[in-house]
């Protein structure tokens, strides 16, 4: 009986702490790097997709652009940093879709992370929503 009451109280405290966490703003951009024939350096970029979502810690934010799906899962840590899990899935081509899942170090709010696959760049900026 005593352990049941303690379990219920602990669950309630955990849910209250999770509800008190501020929402996370996820800004994601998918770009294609443009090259001039014979050049090794990009001459510009073309935005293939962009999204700005408000999500809770641990929930996925997905941006679809052309044949790519860029998913970002931000998780707010106790130290105030945001752990970012990224995955990119190529949806077209022969065979089954291909997924890339690089790891990212925890980021301070307002910091960006990204990766490049071929001529396509994927970047995201995570920050905490202030106010209501």
Tell me what pLDDT residue 59 has: 94
Is residue 27 over pLDDT 90? yes
Tell me what pLDDT residue 29 has: 94
Tell me what pLDDT residue 14 has: 53
Residue 67 CA to residue 13 CA, distance in Å, equals 43
Rounded to two decimals, what is the model's pTM?
0.75
- Specify burial of residue 29 (Cβ count, 10 A radius: 0-12, 13-18, 19+): buried
CA 21 to chain centre: 17
In this predicted model, what pLDDT tens digit does every residue of 28-80 receive, in sequence order? 999 999 988 888 888 888 999 999 999 999 999 999 998 899 999 999 999 99
Write out the DSSP string of 41-92.
Answer: SEEEEEEEEEEEEEE-TT--EEEEETTEEEEEEEEE-TTS-EEEEEEEEE--
E strand or H helix at 5, and its extent? Answer: helix 2-20
């Amino acid at each position: 009986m005593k352990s049941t009451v303690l379990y219920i109280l602990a669950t309630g405290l955990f849910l209250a702490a999770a509800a008190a966490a501020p929402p996370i703003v996820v800004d994601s951009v998918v770009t294609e790097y443009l090259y001039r024939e014979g050049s090794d350096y990009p001459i510009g970029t073309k935005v293939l997709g962009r999204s700005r979502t408000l999500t809770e810690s641990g929930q996925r934010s997905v941006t679809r652009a052309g044949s790519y799906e860029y998913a970002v899962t931000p998780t707010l840590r106790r130290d105030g940093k945001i752990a970012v899990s990224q995955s990119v899935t190529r949806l077209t081509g022969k065979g089954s879709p291909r997924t890339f899942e690089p790891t990212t170090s925890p980021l301070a709010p307002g910091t960006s992370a990204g990766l490049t696959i071929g001529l396509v760049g994927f970047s995201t900026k995570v920050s905490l929503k202030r106010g209501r």
